[in-house]
Amino acid sequence: MLKLVLFSMLLLINAANVANAEESTLPILSGIGGEFSAIDADGKAIESTDFTGNVVVLAFGYTNCADICPFTLGYLKRLYAGLRAEEQQQTRIVFVTIDPEYDTPGHLKGFIGHFNKDFVGLSGTQEQIDYIVSLYQAEYKPLSVLEIPTQNIRRVNPKLFADEQEAKEDKASLFSHTVTLYLLDKEGYTRSLEYTGTPVNEFIEKIRGLINE
Amino acid sequence: MNKSWLIKLLILLGVIALNVMPTLYANNDKPLIKIEQFWIMLPPAVAHNTAGYGVIKNEGNQADTLKSIKSDYASIMLHKTAIESGMARMIHQPNVTIEAHSELVLEPMSFHLMLMNLDKKIFSSETEITLRFEFEKSGVIEIKVPVRQPQY
């Protein structure tokens, strides 16, 4: 009988150790992040508190970005694919555009959906975006030298009057921007700053740790 | 010196000549550009821009400068992504010199071809397009490049 009790105690201690090992030890990074409102890729108003209960990986970017953002979203696609189905349900990959004038919700939906339809694209007014950027101590600025009036750079077909009307909508700028990936816990606190250089398995373990908290 | 020694000496001289000749031939003070492994990322349907990657090698004995890259289906620039203090910015590289016996590697988050104002009919599915690289000394080198989904 004594042996059985001792064995049960050992099992309990071991189980507790395993549970502790799986929980996150990441500190809260105070001063980075906070509550905000935005417009999602379906055009609906959204609050950051809507993500409460989910671990969030938040990135900034824009759809005219040809190298950094597609690479980052490709990395996030691999990261998300590495999570188990039940973990994916508790994780939100959020891409906040820093070019809301160009990246309308519909445009953002098409861009993000190319990588993964579960990913959340956030746009909004310039003020909303600037506020989110400031909350996360992120930065962005137009590359004045590289502003691309996309119309007329390359013209294969003759210029039409309709092109003039489209030109206003088709004016794209290039930006420099923060490439940090913010890992937020289920309460919305920033717990870690990652990059596309972080090994995917290492990042997954951090997400797992926050899910298990 | 007997006859066999003379034959050995001739063979030795022949071997040396065979080894030296190509070097002499290569030492013609010209760049020798090879463009390899290029591919272009199939963009999302709504995107106007995309990127291309690959390697430009200069196996010659003289440097050469990449002046432009052109296509009938997009406007193209050579850019470099630079990350400083967590902030990424793109820097236009109008004239990149590739030194003798060196290479320029274009890869994500580094040097890349920035393709803008894409012809959507061409970039709507996996295909192949022609790029024309113009070098100061080597002139125009034309290659066919696949447009495909990224592997990462």
- DSSP letters, A12-75, are HHHHHHHHHHHS--PPP-TTS----EEEETTS-EEEGGGGTTSEEEEEEE-TT-SSHHHHHHHH
Residue-by-residue DSSP string for A143-175: -GGG-EE-TTTS-SSPP-HHHHHHHTTTEE--E
User: For position A134, what pLDDT does the model report?
Assistant: 97
- List pLDDT tens digits, range A124-138: 999 999 999 999 999
Mean pLDDT of chain B: 89
Rounded to two decimals, the ipTM of the complex is 0.76
Tell me the C-alpha distance between A173 and A178, whole Å.
16
Nearest to A153 among B44, B108, B116 (CB): B116
DSSP helix/strand/coil, B39: strand
CA distances to A182, A195, B14 from A202, rounded to whole Å, are 14, 11, 59
pLDDT digits (tens, 9 = 90+) for B29-49: 899 999 999 999 999 999 999
pLDDT tens by residue, chain B, 152 residues? 566 777 777 776 766 655 555 555 555 789 999 999 999 999 999 999 999 999 999 999 999 999 999 999 999 999 999 998 888 988 899 999 999 999 999 999 999 999 999 998 999 999 999 999 999 999 999 999 999 998 76
A22, A23, A28, A33: CA torsion to nearest 10: 80
| pLDDT, tens digit (0-9, with 9 covering 90-100), for A37-88 | 999 999 999 999 999 999 999 999 999 999 999 999 999 999 999 999 999 9
Residues 125-144 of B with CB under 8 A from A: none
Q: What is the pLDDT of residue B84?
A: 87
In the chain, the amino acid numbered A132 is I
Q: Do B49 and A64 touch (CB under 8 A)?
A: yes
Residue A2 pLDDT > 70, yes or no?
A: no
Cα A196 to chain centroid distance, Å, stands at 12
Q: B117 and A148: CB-CB below 8 Å?
A: yes
pLDDT above 50 (res A155): no
Residue A165: pLDDT band (50, 70, 90) is: very low
8 Å CB contact of A148 and B79: no
d(CA B135, CA B133): 6
